[in-house]
Chains A and B, each alone.
Chain A
Amino acid sequence: GQQVMQIPQYQHVQEGEDFTTYCNSSTTLSNIQWYKQRPGGHPVFLIQLVKSGEVKKQKRLTFQFGEAKKNSSLHITATQTTDVGTYFCALIEGFQKLVFGTGTRLLVSP
């Protein structure tokens, strides 16, 4: 099956700094979803990207799908302590079957 790699595995930033996580695949993706999991919590859907080169924004979060549809990124501007958690990308394989990336754990110090 398809796989996605996420980098970095872990990042520790000071509040107010920016943060970016990258999701890479060796094959072309039909779409990609992003989820956030707070410590001790469950994943929560953030967004889905479908089109080549697509860019979507949610307040301080910017999501991008690569032109070749083989990579995606999530950028957080001016991080806040509420941004702490693990961010996962996930691709859909077959009918509604999600394959999750390895995740990037974000820690924000005040």
Chain B
Amino acid sequence: DGGITQSPKYLFRKEGQNVTLSCEQNLNHDAMYWYRQDPGQGLRLIYYSQIVNDFQKGDIAEGYSVSREKKESFPLTVTSAQKNPTAFYLCASSMTGEEFQPQHFGDGTRLSIL
């Protein structure tokens, strides 16, 4: 089946530690996105990438980093500079083109602080 795979499902971070969340898609989508969702709130954009080897900061990029070396993969690193990383992280992808395209989401990773 085509889709977006996020791993791990649950992740625990120690103080001062960097952790990397994986996102892989086999939908052949050019664009990929990372969102953060806090309990009872909407989604906020962290980073997005429209094409391989290129990415842009979203609204809350501080304390996060990404890479886009392959079309299928868009890993997110939560660095120690992110002081409040506990949240639900969602990866999404979409086609690009003249028409606005819907975004397809993975099942998410829940990150907590130990």
Please tell me if the beta carbons of B42 and A101 are within 8 angstroms of each other in the complex: yes
Please tell me if the beta carbons of B42 and A44 are within 8 angstroms of each other in the complex: no
B111 to chain A, nearest CB (A): 15
Of A52-60, A69-77, A90-98, the one contacting chain B is: A90-98
CB under 8 Å from chain A, chain B span 16-51: 31, 33, 35, 40-45, 48, 50
How far is B43's CA from A33's CA once the two chains are assembled, in angstroms? 14
Please tell me if the beta carbons of A102 and B45 are within 8 angstroms of each other in the complex: no
List, in ascending order, chain A residues with CB within 8 A of B100's CB. Answer: 31, 33, 48, 50, 92, 96
Tally of chain B residues near chain A (CB < 8 A) = 25
How far is B105's CA from A88's CA once the two chains are assembled, in angstroms? 14
Known contacts A41-B107, A48-B102, A103-B41: A96-B59 contact under CB 8 Å? no
- Encoded as 1 (CB less than 8 Å from any B CB) or 0, chain A from 94 to 110 comes to 01111111110100000
| Residue in contact with B58 in the complex, picked from A44, A48, A88, A97, CB distance below 8 Å | A97
Q: Does B96 contact A (CB under 8 A)?
A: yes
Please tell me if the beta carbons of B90 and A42 are within 8 angstroms of each other in the complex: yes
Known contacts A33-B100, A43-B105: A95-B50 contact under CB 8 Å? yes
| Residue in contact with B96 in the complex, picked from A1, A48, A96, A103, CB distance below 8 Å | A96
Please tell me if the beta carbons of A102 and B42 are within 8 angstroms of each other in the complex: yes
How far is B44's CA from A43's CA once the two chains are assembled, in angstroms? 13
Q: Does B106 contact A (CB under 8 A)?
A: yes
Please tell me if the beta carbons of A98 and B107 are within 8 angstroms of each other in the complex: no
Known contacts A31-B100, A97-B58: A42-B41 contact under CB 8 Å? no
List, in ascending order, chain B residues with CB within 8 A of A1's CB. Answer: 59
List, in ascending order, chain A residues with CB within 8 A of B42's CB. Answer: 88, 100-103
Please tell me if the beta carbons of A45 and B107 are within 8 angstroms of each other in the complex: no
